[in-house]
Every structure is written in structure tokens, then in C-alpha cells.
Structure 1
Amino acid sequence: MIIGVPKEIKNNENRVALTPAGAKELIKNGHEVFVQSTAGLGSGFSDNQYTEEGAQILPDIESTYAKAEMIIKVKEPIEKEYSLIKENQLVFTYFHFASYEPLTKAMIESKSVCLAYETVEKPDRSLPLLVPMSEVAGRMAIQEGAKYLEKPLQGRGILLGGVPGVRPAKVLVLGGGIVGTQAAKMAAGLGADVTIMDISLARLRYLADIMPANVNTYMSSEYNIRELLGSHDLIVGAVLIPGAKAPHLVTRDMLKLMKPGTVLVDVAVDQGGCIETCKPTTHENPTYIIDDILHYCVANMPGAVPYTSTLALTNATLPYAIELANKGWKKACGENNELKLGLNIINGDVVYKGVSEAFDLPYHAVENYV
């Protein structure tokens, strides 16, 4: 199979979908790998490192899309890429369709095959291609939140871990999944007073067992969230419904319950956000203020630490990419249910319920295609 790796062109997105080591593994399996010039530079990989492993370098994004049967990316295609995607071309990347209708409609019109990292799912309901970036984003949420709590950046002026004789900051984490768990661990490690909320009592029991003493668990409900908002300095939105739009747990009217300078970090922004006042921002302009509350809503948080993120992501995606290349998407998805659940759009038909429900589009059973 001919595999193309374009350079990411989303604002400040420095990750790349395939490392030189990953290219070598695909080439060892008999495939051709074409990498757009400088695609790996932001993650610390030069064109020479790819060519040394047998990959070929193409000069621009147009030739990369034109050449490839399978495109491997990190972030969803943006508008200037829509017209480059061909009928029957397999695109393997994060899509997050349910949060952005123009992208969904563009991919339907392209008649390509869209296999989304975020909906590849194991039998135990875990999401193996979302986990590594969720781990990065969860930890980064605290790193960024701690920074924006500083007064010069318009936060409350609180040191996350406090000092002897002064209480630490209070951190509220909404959601006890991978992002929330990593956020709580990071905040606890920095000495904050942490509360993590979830709707699953079983998950809260597990978290209570594994978390340090400065992390409290609390059942998530609108009443309980409202009760806590006024006393916390950093609030992290970490809610995920696979392939679907995130629910709004913090609504606009709740902002008035918070102290001025409170920082909101919405990690669910690429799924629509679990904070109603959330809107996607970039690393270039990461924050904005509504009602004296600072919002950090960068949609590609792991892009700020591309070396770590690229290695973590390709560790997870490479085995699936090799399987897709070796067998072709139809056979691979027919034999591997994890990959089959990753299929969102096939030749203009929506085959993932969360996407069809988000925009009231006709749903087609994926079994009709594989």
C-alpha cells in the first residue's frame, strides 16, 4: 500500500503521525511511505531520518495526498485539505466529527473512508488511540492551569501547591476517565487540594483507592457541581462520550458562582466542550475571559509538547496502521472489531451513530461495508 504522511497545518500543531521508526516498520512490511517535506521537524525528526529508513520525501501537501492510498494524520483535516482528499482514500486520524458539521459534510462529499482514532474501541470499552493523548492532555491541563492562575496572566494569583502556612489552590476535575485521572494525579503531585467527580460509583471507589490523600472523590450531579464551583480555583473539564458531543456540565449561568480569576480548562473542547462558554482556541491565542473567568480551551493541547506526544501516539497507532496497510481497510475492519468501530464515514455514508445523531444524518450499518 502507498502511505502518505502530510505535514499538520492546524495552528501550532507540531506533531507528526509517523516517526522514522514507524516508517521503517511499514516499509519492512512491503509498503511505500511518502512523507511531506519537514512534516516531522516540529517533533524533532528531520527529512534525512525518514529517508535513512527508506521513506520518500515529497515537496508539498498536494503531492502527498495525490500519491497516497492511505493518509495517516494527527488532527482532523482543515478546510484547505478538504479538496485534496480523494474518493476511496483511507484517512486514518483524529476526526471528532460530532463537534464540527462542516468537516463531516466535507468528508461525506469526498467519498473517502474515514477511520477515526477516537472511536477505535477495545472489548473492555477502552479507547486505545485516545488514551495516549488523553494522558498528555490531562497532565497538561494542570500545567497550563497552574500557569494561568498567575496574576500577570489574569488568574487569581494563587500558587497551585501553596507554601507552609498558606493553603494550596483547590482543583476540581469533572470526569474520572483517563484525562481526569491524569489531571488529578498531576495536581495532587504539585500539592493542590483536589476533588474529582464522576457519575460512576464504581469508578469513584477505584479512584479513592489509587489516589493520594489530597484527592477527594465526589459524585457528579448538577447540584454537587454548583455547590463546589465557588470554592475552587482551577476547574478541569474532562468528560468524554466516545464519538459524540460532550454534555455541558458547567453552564453560562454558573460562571457567576465562581470567584474572579478562576481558571477553566476544557479538555473536551474538540468534542464540543463540557463547559457551555467554551470555544476552541489555539496555542497562539489560548485564553479569553467571560464574566471575569479565564477560559483555556486549546483544541490540540498535546501539540505543545510534540516530541512526547508523537512518540506516545505512534506507539499506539502503528500496530493498527500496519494491519490496515497489510490487509486493506475492508479486510482489516472485517477481522478486527476494534478497527471496525473506528469507521465513521464510508464513501459518503455515515456509519457511526454518534455522528449521525449529532447532525440528524442518515445512519448506515457498518456491517454492510465490511
Structure 2
Amino acid sequence: MPLTSEPLRKLGFLTIGLFDDADPRRGHESTLEIIELGERLGFDSAWMRHRHLQYGISSPVAVLAAASQRTSRIELGTAVIPLGWENPLRLAEDLATVDILSGGRLNPGISVGPPMHYDRVKEALYPDTADVEDFSYARVERLLAFVRGEAASDFSGTEGFEVFSDRVQPHAAGLGRRMWYGGGSLRSARWAGEHGMNYLTSSVVKAEESEDFAEIQLSHIRTFRAHHPDGERARVSQGLVVIPTDSASAGQRAKYEEFVAKRTPRTTTPQGPARMLFARDLVGTSAEIAEQLYSDAAFREIDEVAFALPFTFDHDDYVQILTDIATKLGPALGWRPPVAD
């Protein structure tokens, strides 16, 4: 098996946190238990997707606040918060609060663009300003400014018995360096680099200069680092769907293989007007998955991952998959769990 120049340094996972409309608490509790399991297994980070008007967690920041009180070491991230649904000032306050509660473990991942199905939701979301809302990178710049401690008001001082600050409170020192941009295009990679963010690259990219997924993703990573102040040291995390089967039952293996088979056709050619290209899900033993990853040009360029859990599986499936990733796949990629205190 070929080796990369550097072993995998940070091992993370991503979950969407699905729930049943008839019993939403159970799904949310399952997600928290999975994050707790991730910490016990030694994972470096746990990330949550953001889902609005669906049966997936709509407020990962709130759930991560809860997770921060049930864990002590694992980093907690969002991958990603679509900023089109958010007020940057209010979001900055929430992110800073959770970062303080977690002891500096929050890694907010964000993206821009209009909310999904905007024409159907804009009257509920922005009834008075829907047609003038700015969903460009300027929205990210506002959030970054507030998180990094720039002024949000032209007033500070005492008024009566109350004391006011001109910047977001609490101020979470260090949070500005842990802001991630979730991108899938050359433009987003360059923008994130120029603005000193970290970069999340997932299993979806825009087929701009090629139709080879790994080749496209590699070009995004190199473009990002070429425009980042830290150059080759700039942080990039790759997120692919990997499903190790080392300890899976026969029934689980059959389910996993069926899941991958149904999703594979979309990986053969770019999809839709935006020419989005999907990576093939990786299923098999940890040794087989490691070999496929080492043959991936983009994977060889990074030393951090946030492997995505399949969205529709059961709690027991996630336990098995995470356990195999931490005990089999991670070590096969050169990763080692942190040494217990």
C-alpha cells in the first residue's frame, strides 16, 4: 500500500442527525450519544450538518451547546451552516457563546448562497427584505468581522445602570482562526484562502475544469492554499462517505452495499445545470478503503478528514461504523488516538 508523506493527523466524522417527526427528542438524543461515543473512541472532531424544514437537526449550534456539556475534549463543528438563513450578528453571538461553553472547541463551518427553495420560504424568512437580501460572500465577511472582534456598534460605555460593548459579547478569543468555509468550486477555494479561513471540501464539487472528482478536488485544495497566508500549512479537511464493514453483520453489509449501489449512478457524470459531481461512496473492509483513499490524489494532499456517516442508517449502524473507523481505518491511515490524560 502506498504511503502519504504525512500520516493522517486529525480524524473526524459528520452526521446529519435525522429524527422521527413523532418523536424528535429520540433522534436528537441519538446524535448526542454518537458524539459522546466519538469522544470515547478518540475522534478529534464531530461535525453536524444543517437542515431547515426537514427531519434533520435545524439548529446544530444549539445541539453542539448540549454536546459541549457532555464531552470534554472532542472538537465540535458545523458542516455547514448556510448563511442565507442567518443574521451574521446574531449568529456570531451564538457561536461565541458555544465556543466559550466548550472551552474553545467550536469549529464553525459556513457557506453562502440563497436558501434552498428560496421562492417558497422567503416570505416567512425575510417578509420585508426578501428581494434585497445579499447572499454573496459579503455576508461571510460580516460574520468574520463580528467573530474576530470588530465593531458591531458605534456606541460603548455606560447608560444608566447598563454597560454596553461595541463588539459581540462574549468575545471568544481564537474562534476567528477556527472558522471554516465549505466550498466546492475554484472560486470558493480562492475566496476562502484570501480571507484566511480553513477549508472544508466534501463529496460534492463543481465540475469546472475536469470530470475526474479527485483531480477537481485536488485543484481546489491547491488553489485554496496558494491564496492563503499560511500557504501549505493552511488547514483543509476532506469529507467523503466511508463505510467500513470489518465488524458489520451480514445484514448490515447487505444494507450498506445496497445504499452505495443506489447512489453510484450519480457519480458517473456531472449533475444538473451547475454540473455538480459526486464522489463515490467507499464501502468495504478498512484495508480496502485505506487502499482506495491512498490512491486518491486529493486525499494524499491533506492530513485531516471528517468522514460523513450515511444519512439514513440506524443508531447501531453508526456505532459499528464509527468503531471500525477509529479502531481499524484510522490506524490504517496513520492516525493515532490522543493519549489519555
TM-score (ref. length: structure 2): 0.26
- What's the TM-score, normalizing by structure 1? 0.25
